[in-house]
Amino acid sequence: MSPSFLFFIFLLITEMSASSSANPFVDGKYKTKLLTVDLSSKTPQPPPKSLLVATPMEKGEYPVVMLLHGYLLLNSFYSQLMLHVSSHGFIVIAPQLYNIAGPDIKDEIKSTAEIIDWLSVGLSHFLPPQVTANLSKIALSGHSRGGKTAFALALKKDGYSSKLKISALIGIDPVDGTGKGKQTPPPVLTYQPNSFNLDKMPVLVIGSGLGEIGKNLLFPPCAPLGANHRDFFQDSQGPAWHFVAKDYGHMDMLDDDTGGIKGMVTHYLCKNGKERRPMRRFVGGTVVAFLMASLEGDNGELVKIKNKSEGNPVEIQEFEVKK
């Protein structure tokens, strides 16, 4: 074989390898580690709340993603999702905002703002020495009630805000109460299209096709109509993206195994899909593609998802975009 032909084969293999590793629905190229940071940590600046941190292990500077858990859930229930996103080059931080809570989310908004501000003084003490957080690129995300909290902080509800700038906002099947007119305090949804003034902050809203369907007569929908992802996207200004996964439910992005009573309840409270892995991969991949577009200026993978590219682990039921 000629040297030029061998060189051509080498370039082809390299391109195929790069394309494969860029697929956001599979694990990325970075080795990752899950760290637990609790309030008793012996450092000058312990965090305001206990944290679970997924970080790449290779030397480098990485954007930060804050992930807020759903109502009465544990941050550890999101460990597989966190590691997936982190493997694509992001530091993912999930605080445990509470263990027991009433309907009001004011304390959660306040705590989230405090944690984001803590990042600049405390996070470096817990990361591997070769890893640096890029605090000029922070994305705020949340699932269910945590999604509402993320939007509330981004909108500076009740005067709460973080000193560090939030560059992107993600709602993972966000919920604001039990229906229209039945919001939990403080209400976030306005039911007025494009009313969320986020100063052109990119927004991603992911919905579950089964979330608005009740499990049975005893268990109502976990993401009810009038208070779910559709309404959050409707109220959002562009640029905003909205994806709905068909045949998957409100809890299907959690870990396969969620321990304890709370973990057991996640399998029985909501109408779910057949298994969690496809939805978790879809959520993780869509979040990665969105982060690449909004924080790194590379919208290639997000466009592929919009165009229903091969490799997507779920069927997209609905898609909308606001420019």
Strands (E) in the chain, as ranges, are 32-37, 51-56, 60-68, 91-95, 131-143, 168-172, 203-208, 240-245, 316-322
The CA distance from 206 to 204, in Å, is: 7
| Active-site amino acid positions | 144, 173, 250
Q: pLDDT tens digits for 98-122?
A: 999 999 999 999 999 999 999 999 9
Whole-angstrom CA distances from 210 to 225, 272, 286, 306 are: 11, 7, 18, 20
Which among 280, 211, 217, 218 has a CA at the least distance from the CA of 246? 211
Cβ count within 10 A of residue 168 = 24
For the whole model, what pTM was predicted?
A: 0.92
pLDDT in tens for each of the 323 residues of the chain? 554 444 444 444 444 434 434 799 999 999 999 999 998 877 778 999 999 999 999 999 999 999 999 999 999 999 999 999 999 999 999 999 999 999 999 999 999 999 999 999 999 999 999 999 999 999 999 999 999 999 999 999 999 999 999 999 999 999 999 999 999 999 999 999 999 999 999 999 999 999 999 998 889 999 999 999 999 999 999 999 999 999 999 999 999 999 999 999 999 999 999 999 999 999 999 999 999 999 999 999 999 998 777 789 999 999 999 99
Q: Which two tokens stand for residue 272?
A: 């779910």
The torsion angles phi and psi of 134, rounded to 5 degrees, stand at: -90, 95
| 250: exposed, middle or buried (Cβ count in 10 Å: 0-12, 13-18, 19+) | buried
CA angle 251, 274, 33 (to 5 degrees): 55
Helix (H, G, I), strand (E, B) or coil at 267: helix
